[in-house]
Structure 1
Amino acid sequence: MPSAPLFRFGVIADPQYADLEPNLTLNRYPAKSLDKLRDAIEEFNRHDLAFVVTLGDIIDRQWKSFDVILPVYEALRHAKHFLLGNHDFAVAPEHLGSVSARVGMPSAYYDFSHSGYRFIALDGNEISVFAPPEDDPRRQEAKALMKRLGDSGATNGQRWNAAISDAQFDWLAAKLREAKAAGEKVVVMNHYPVFPDNPHNALDSDRMLSLLAEHDHIIAYLNGHNHAGNFGVSDGTYFVNFMGMVDTEDTSAYSIVSVYDDRLEVTGFGRETDRTLALR
């Protein structure tokens, strides 16, 4: 008999709900995400999962969208963890400071441990032209970053991308050392990809990649944002970009990840890909 996994968890990326007409150019159907999410939760509830993580872009826009999609999650019988994405800040300026509280997050970035694994949930939105208050210097910082990337010929200097602050970067580095000392393997989660090279990558993807490359106990980096999905391996770490749930009229995308001693098994539902990721 094959051995049972240590644990399993569910993954959702970019439900991006709003009561809007479809965006046919991008093939996105924000209003249909409620039913897709209900179906995903029904499937998750059939399994023994440690938790379910949503990798950002819970809504497409409008503060009131949270009032409609968050109650759908109440049917989930597992623990739930949220990350925030760029669309979660497409709300009126007075709400920008309270998005993580509205979603019920302990803070905008945080970590938790499970069965010898440390999960680090980043707030990829800190340095951006959309998340900080309108007169915040971080908006200028983001513009400077975007310009620098554009001038260097990089494709990711886009206004829908973002970066983490120096304070959060130092926190991440400290958490990686802490997990190492505790003998834990690490899974880093962010809304924004950092690898492979892509127009959707975080504005600070080079700095992030350099930090991750210093550590051999980081198993995987999980993200959304690039709805087409993507995959890569760099310095022994798997970079898994999960597909956007909001895309297409009648297919969904979500996953269950099974964690074994020697591998991760990603079981994809709908458009999502199955993967077996052997651990070094």
Structure 2
Amino acid sequence: MQFSDEAILEKLLNYPEFSLKHEDKFRIAFLADPQYANLEDDLEERCYFRVMPKKMTKVMHFLNQRSLDLVVTLGDIVDRAWQDYPAVIKPYEDLCHPHLFVLGNHDAKAMFSQFQVDPNYHVPIRYHSWSLGHFRFIMIDGNDRSLHAYHSSAQEYLDAKLQLSHLAQEKKQYAKSWNGALSPSQLEWLEEQLIEAQQVQQQVVVVGHYALDPNLNAHNLWNCEEITVLLYKYGVKVSLNGHNHCGAQYVLGETLFYTVPGIVADPYIAPLIILEISKVGELSIERHYLIKK
């Protein structure tokens, strides 16, 4: 099956409608960084490209056998080329659950390369939230301030370049061009969401592509330290991301910061998790490592 540009965009940018199967709990599956490319494997970077479509088919089959409210792919669906999307999104056609794609830095680069027609074009910046009974699902977007989503003459690009330069001068380990940040307006919006959730006693799940590991690493958002303090302050239950293919987890106060390992990083194993969170804040994570046979 082939997909037109419009069909690919519809899948990548879709906000699914869904309801909870059980009012007292929320079950979400997360997978990260398929990063498919029609290329030979890059052993130095541990990117095993060619097996990805078959691995994703196995992942969809596994997810279809589980009771889930939502499936989220945490960005970097392709490695570099817009033309690679059809092969890696085709398996999603068989998924029986609502699904949401997060856009990563590689997605932003592929999209920008395909659709840049004038200096005013930019990759869609997507931060959004859903309130579902006792739960609030908050989606943040680190492409907001980055070198991936805007023309080099755009103010957002210039702001990102300046922010990165300041971080490099401060010798921050996450001062890397492949990262990004939340803009001041998105940070303000995020705190408003957290205040509202706290007022109505909702359990909060925050989701994005870029890492928010309090241990700090080279894959963190440029303003990760400010954001982690914010999530800690408002007692966010869990923050999930991809981007760092090795995966990571850290607990800060009541908040679990969890990086889902990249599927592309192993030739045989497809890691994913199923998160279950209850209305009283009980949290469990099922870790699955599917083997490609």
**TM superposition score category, shorter chain reference:** 0.7 to 0.9
Q: What residue number does 1:265 align with?
A: 284
TM-score w.r.t. the length of structure 2 is 0.83
Query: Residues 61-101 of structure 1: CA distance to partner in whole angstroms, max 9, x if unpaired?
Result: 1111223322321211001112111010222535255755x
What does residue range 57-68 of structure 1 map to in structure 2 within 5 Å? 57-68=76-87
Amino acid at match of 1:116: H
Q: What residue number does 1:184 align with?
A: 202
2:134 aligned residue (82, 91, 116): 116
Tell me how far apart the structure 2 counterparts of residues 141 and 115 of structure 1 sit (CA, whole Å).
38
Deviation at 1:41, TM superposition (A): 1.0
Amino acid at match of 2:199: A
Deviation at 1:259, TM superposition (A): 2.2
Q: What residue number does 1:93 align with?
A: 113
Q: What residue number does 2:185 align with?
A: 167
- Determine whether 1:153 maps to 2:171: yes
Any runs of at least 4 consecutive aligned residues in structure 1 with deviations exceeding 3 A, and if so which?
Answer: 96-100
SS in structure 2 of the partner of residue 48 of structure 1? coil
* Structure 1 residues without counterparts, runs of 5 or longer: 101-106, 273-280
- Determine whether 1:212 maps to 2:220: no
Given the superposition, is the C-alpha separation of residues 66 and 134 from structure 1 closer, same or farther in structure 2, using an over 3 Å criterion? farther
Q: What residue number does 1:222 align with?
A: 240
Contact 2:39/2:49, CA 8 A, preserved across alignment:
yes
- Determine whether 1:243 maps to 2:235: no
SS in structure 2 of the partner of residue 168 of structure 1? helix
SS in structure 2 of the partner of residue 228 of structure 1? coil
Q: What residue number does 2:26 align with?
A: 7
Aligned residue-pair number: 262
SS in structure 1 of the partner of residue 85 of structure 2? helix
Deviation at 1:258, TM superposition (A): 2.1
Tell me how far apart the structure 2 counterparts of residues 67 and 133 of structure 1 sit (CA, whole Å).
26
Contact 1:232/1:240, CA 8 A, preserved across alignment:
yes
Contact 1:163/1:203, CA 8 A, preserved across alignment:
yes
SS in structure 2 of the partner of residue 60 of structure 1? coil
Tell me how far apart the structure 1 counterparts of residues 286 and 137 of structure 2 sit (CA, whole Å).
19
Amino acid at match of 1:154: K
Q: What residue number does 2:159 align with?
A: 141
Contact 1:255/1:267, CA 8 A, preserved across alignment:
yes
Q: Percent identity?
A: 32
